[in-house]
Amino acid sequence: MREFTTPAVAGPEATGGLADSLYDTAERTPDLVQLARRVGPPGPADPAEHRDGHRFGHRDEWRGVTAREFRDEVLALAKGLLTRGVRYGDRVALMSRTRYEWTLFDYALWSIGAITVPVYPTAAAEQVRWILAETQAVACLVEDEDAAMTVGAVCDALPDLTGIWQLDRDCVAAITEDGRDVPDSLVHRQRLGVTAGNVATVVYTSGTTGRPKGCLITHANLAAEADALLGGWREAFHDTGGGQPSTLLFLPLAHVYGRAVQVAAIRGGFRIGHVPEVSTDALLPAMESFRPTFLHVVPYVFEKIFQQARRAAEDAGRGELFEQARQVAVDWAAAREQKAFGRGPGPSPKLRLRHLAYERTVYQRLRAVLGGRVRSVMCGGSALRRELGLFFTGAGLHLYEGYGLTETSAAITANPIGRQKLGTVGHPLPGSSVALADDGEVWVRGGSVFGGYLNHPQCTAESLIDGWFGTGDLGRLDEDGYLTITGRKKDLIVTSSGKNLAPSALEERVAAHPLVSQCLVVGDDRPYVAALITLDPAALAHWLKTHGLEQLDPWAVLADEQLHTEVQRAVAAANTAVSRAESIRAFRLLPREFSQDQGLLTPSLKLRRAAIAEYYADDIAELYVP
C-alpha cells in the first residue's frame, strides 16, 4: 500500500474525559465567553441585553455565556441527571435539532460518565426503536411533542427506557431543580473517574447501504480530532481584526461532524452560536447578526448561497456582471493555487486588476452575506465542486476541504494552510495516516479512528486490521500526497457489457448545472448508463419566468422540450469527462426532489441508492425500453 503520514502536533496527551476542558477553562478564564444564546432583538425596556449585544459589536440578538456560567449550568444539570437515575456508563439519547441545550446535555452527561446517543429528530419511529433498543438507552431527550410521540409510540419495545425529557416543556429547569441538594463533589467524583479510553458517544452511520451501525467513539477519539484541528488550523480560525474566534454551529449535532466542531470550539476557547436549521432562510440572518470568524459547512450550503446570489443578480439585471465576476474569481484562485505549488507565476497584472474591480461590487457583498468577518471555511461531508470552491476562494474565503467518516470522528484529512488544492481532500490530519490498497480503497489510521461497532464484532474485525480502518471509499493520491475521493466500492456500477463505473463523479458534474438539484446514475447489469434527475424548485421557477413559461403546471414542465434541451446540456457537459461506454445515454426528470421523508436521503443528505432504485423502479425500467 502507498502510505502518507502527517506527524502529530506536539502537546499533552488527553488522559481524562471531554468535560474536563470545560471545567479547566472556567477555572483559568472564568469570564471568557464560550457560547452565545440567541435571544432576539431587545425592546426599549431591555437595556441589559442591549449592552450585552454591543459588547460583541453586532446586532443585539445574542447573549454571551461565559465559561463560568456554562460550567455552573452544566454542573447543576449533571446533579439533576443523577437524581433522575442516570449513572456512570448509562446511555442517554439526544433527539433534537442543533441548539444550545444539546451542548449543555452533552457536557452534563459526560460530567457524570454517561454516554450520549445522538438521534436525528427526523428519524422514523422504527429507526428510533432500533437505536434506543440496541444502545439500551435509559432516557431520551426530545425537542417537542411530535418527537415525544415518536418515542412514546415505541416505548413498549424499550424496557430500559425510564424517562422522556422534553425541551419545549422546560425539562432543563425541572431536572436542574431536582439536583439542587446534590453536592458538587458527587459530580466531580464521577467526572474524575472518566478516562480517555471510555466511550463518550455512540454515533450511528448514515446507513446508505443498509441498517445504520453504532460507532463506539471514545473521549480520546473526539479529543484527538479536536486537537488535530486546533493544532493544524488554529490560525485559520482567528478573526482578522484580532477578536475572539467564533463560529456558528448549524451542522446537525446528531452527525459526528457537528459534534467534532462543538468539542473543538469548547477546547479551543472559541465562541459558539447555534442555529437549528441549515436552510439559507434561517442561516443567513443568523450569520448577519452573529458575524462568525470561521465556519464549518457541507457543500450543500455553498451551493445554495451561490445559486441564490446568481438568481438575485439576474433578477436585478446584473446577471452578466455576476458571471464575469465568477469567472475572474475562478481564474484568479486557480492561478494562485498553481503558484503555491511552484507551477505558475500567479495571477497576471490584468487578472489582478479585474479581480480588484469586482472586489467591492461582488465579492465584498458576498462575504457580507456570511456576516462580513468570515475568512476561513472548512468544508466536508460530501464532495465540493472544484469550480465552486475556486469561486468562493476567489471571492476572499480560505477554503479547507476535508474528508472523514463517522468511524473517524469526522475529518481524517484536510487541506493544509497556504497549500490548498481544491478538488482534493488534502493530507492526513496531524497524527494520522492514509494509505491506498491495491484496489484503490482508502485505509486510514490515527487517534480519531473509532474502537469498533456496537454489537457487531464481525464487522469490526473486518474493518479494523492492525490499527488501520478500511473506509470502503475509493481514492487516489497525487504527486504531492493529496487525496482525492473517487467513489464508494459498494456504489460501483457494472454494466451488462462488463464496464465498471464509479457514479459519483458523473452525478456531481450533472448537478453542477443551476437547474439540477440531484442526480442518480443507474446502469448495473444494464446495456448502458442512464440517470434520474431532480430539479431545484427555486431555480426552476426562475428559469420558467425568464423563458415565459410560468403558466405551465408541474407535469407539463417536465415534458417541455426547452427544459429537456437545457438539462441535456448538463448531461452532455458531464459526459465529456468520461468514455463513451461510461456516458449517460438517457435520463428522466422526476417531479420532486429526493427527500428524507421518502426515505431516499440520509440525514446528512446522501443518496440512499438502493431505496431510490426501488422507489423509482418503473421509471428506471422505462429508461431501457427499446
Instruction: Say if CB 381 and CB 256 are below 8 A apart.
Output: no
Which are the contacts of 548, defined by CB distance < 8 A and separation ≥ 6?
none
| Three-state DSSP class for residue 429 | coil
Where the chain has pLDDT below 70, the residues are 1, 10-13, 40-60, 207-210, 239-240, 554-555
Secondary structure, 3-state, 447-479: CCCCCCECCCHHHHHHHEECCEEEEEEEEEECC
| Three-state DSSP class for residue 273 | strand
Domain ranges of the chain: 492-622
d(CA 549, CA 560): 9
Q: Which CATH architecture has domain 492-622?
A: 2-Layer Sandwich (3.30)
**Residue 45: predicted pLDDT:** 39
**Cβ count within 10 A of residue 387:** 17
State how far Cα 42 lies from the chain centre. 32
Which are the contacts of 79, defined by CB distance < 8 A and separation ≥ 6?
176, 179, 180, 182, 184, 186, 187
**Residue 324: predicted pLDDT:** 97
- Would you give the DSSP letter of residue 100? H
**Residue 554: predicted pLDDT:** 63
- For residues 114, 256, 454, 200, the Cα torsion angle rounded to the nearest 10 degrees is -20
d(CA 388, CA 334): 12
Instruction: Say if CB 100 and CB 149 are below 8 A apart.
Output: no
**Residue 550: predicted pLDDT:** 78
Among 585, 480, 443, 474, residue whose Cα is nearest residue 523: 585
**Residue 39: predicted pLDDT:** 84
**Residue 108: predicted pLDDT:** 98
Per DSSP, helices labelled H in 470-535 are 504-511
Helix (H) / strand (E) element for 358: namely helix 349-358
Q: How many CA atoms lie within 13 A of 293 on its CB side?
A: 19
State which amino acid sits at residue 353. L
Q: What are the backbone dihedrals phi and psi of residue 163, each rounded to the nearest 5 degrees, phi first? A: -155, 140
Among 605, 383, 613, 414, residue whose Cα is nearest residue 505: 383
The x, y and z cell numbers of residue 227, run together, are 486537537
Helix (H) / strand (E) element for 19: namely helix 19-28
